[in-house]
Structure 1
Amino acid sequence: MTSIPINKLTLSFIVMLIGIMSCSPSTQLTGSWKSPEATQKHYGKVIVAALTDNVRARQTVENDLQAQLAERGISATKSIDIFPPALMRDSGSNADGLLQKIQGDGYDAILTAALVDEETETRYVPGNQGYAPMRFGWYGSFRGYYANWAPTFYDPGYYREDKVYFLESNLYDAENDRLLWSAQSRSYNPGNLERFSRKFAELTVTTMREQDLID
């Protein structure tokens, strides 16, 4: 059988296509846990709380979680509208006071989101193109071989640092303070807060729906 020569443009396209197919979403669910008690009660009035002292991040994440829950008919309130940043800082670790306020306002569940860890990963980014064990038409001459491979030989690649963030979402029963559900997710290089927040909120609420925590 005659082999079909692959030109440089075709090879570049194949390498690009493989890269696209192998790319994973920047934000992924890595695990979850659900209490056996979670399906015994309907939760229709939820307060969402992003546990951070970064006001912009808190506002953005809570907005998106509220919007995702509202799309599913869940009445959701942002914690920042009830507990402003100054109050959260002053209350410190006094969770009892916060819980009493939540219970007094008639909420039946609390959905929290928090950044629990972050890491830096170093990975090698190859140069212009990689090697594939095939017959190349440009192997027939030195000039063709050199012209094809010189960019790779003299631009071998570089090392890149990726920021990896580990997040946790928890759902609590506001009446008895018990954990109903917990999910862990991982996000790579979330350079844009708004884009990351939308994806995180969608992933969180969709998973809650799939696991019968909300309608």
Structure 2
Amino acid sequence: MKNITRLLLLMLLCACSTPTQVTNFWKTNEPVNKTYHTVFVAALVNSVNAKASIENNVAAAAEAKGLKAIKSGDIFPPNFTREKAPSREAMLQKLRELGCDAIYTVTLVKKESESRYVPGSGPYAPYPRFGWYGSFWGYYNYWSPMMYNPGYYTTDKTYYMETNLYDAETEALLFSVQSATFNPAGVDDFSRSYTKAIVHELTTQGLLK
């Protein structure tokens, strides 16, 4: 079942222009009787470069939709430890001072790596397209070296992210999105792909215009 799930996920990702696929979406049923203007963006990942890249892309997307975005890396040290992290009261007080009315978090919840073998191969087209099909030696001389063409192993990587939006005043969860990114080329490629997929999902759900 796990292999089938991964195969379906791979097919979905390869069919899209972006390697990020939204896998689950939830939003509150409670009525939200307010309009949000300023969002605090916090990427909860253990890489400073990844944190900056994700927050920059999300903030740019938010601002393109008419929101003001404040990145956590600009306000709190990006490398603080659990012991040095600000208290709940201190963080919420700072967000109030900044005028934030929403809090956007994105977290890497799981990373999977799986190796697979890619066999050596050559192009195939049946007779009569290629003349070497017409004689034994032509056929043998073409295909025999292919049998010794070494394949190789490659490692597929899938990153599972969770995105949440909270009301800054009540701390109530407004929506939650789970997504998977398959084999990103790098940190910037990942953050752009992730942001594009989330913006598309929120637009589809009617939460962004």
Q: TM-score, normalised by structure 1?
A: 0.77
Q: Distance in 1 between matches of 2:140 and 2:14?
A: 31
Letter in 1 for 2:57: D
Say if 2:167 is the partner of 1:176: no
Structure 1 residue ranges without an equivalent (≥5): 1-21
5+ residue gaps, structure 2: 1-12
**Structure 1 CA distance, aligned partners of 2:102 and 2:110?**
25
Q: Which amino acid aligns with 1:84?
A: P
Q: What do the CA deviations read for 1:70-90 (whole angstroms, capped 9, x no partner)?
A: 111111111111112255654
- List, as ranges, runs of 4+ consecutive aligned residues in structure 1 with deviation greater than 6 Å: none
State yes or no: 1:200 paired with 2:191.
no
In the alignment, which of 119, 130, 140 is matched to residue 126 of structure 1? Answer: 119
CA distance in 1, matches of 2:31, 2:119: 48
Instruction: Select 1:161's aligned residue among 145, 149, 155.
Output: 155
Please name the residue that 1:3 is paired with.
none
Provide the rounded CA distance (Å) in 1 between the counterparts of 2:80 and 2:155. Answer: 37
TM-score for both structures, normalised by structure 2: 0.79
Q: Alpha-carbon deviation of 1:38?
A: 6.4
- C-alpha change, 1:161 and 1:71, in structure 2 (3 Å) is same
Question: Using a 3 Å threshold, how does the CA distance of structure 1 residues 194 and 93 change in structure 2: closer, same or farther?
Answer: same
**Aligned equivalents of 2:31, 2:159: Cα separation in 1:** 27
The answer on whether the counterparts of 1:48 and 1:62 sit within 8 Å (CA) in structure 2 is: yes
Q: C-alpha distance in 1, partners of 2:119/2:80?
A: 50
Alignment-mate amino acid for residue 68 of structure 1: A
Identify, as 1 or 2, the structure richer in helix: 1
Q: CA deviation at 1:64?
A: 0.8
Assess, with a 3 A threshold, how the Cα gap between structure 1 residues 111 and 143 changes in structure 2: closer, same or farther.
Answer: same
User: What secondary structure does 2:30 align onto?
Assistant: helix
Aligned counterpart for 1:83 among listed residues 76, 82, 86:
76
Q: Would you say the 8 A contact 2:48–2:79 is kept in 1?
A: no
Larger radius of gyration: 1
Deviations 1:7-34 (Å, cap 9, x if unpaired)? xxxxxxxxxxxxxxx9344222222111
Matches within 5 A, 1:70-149: 70-85=63-78, 89-92=82-85, 94-129=87-122, 134-135=126-127, 137=130, 138-149=132-143
Show CA shifts across 1:18-67 (max 9, x none): xxxx9344222222111123654322210111112422221111111110
Of all paired residues, the percent bearing the same amino acid is: 45
Coordinate RMSD, CA, aligned: 2.5
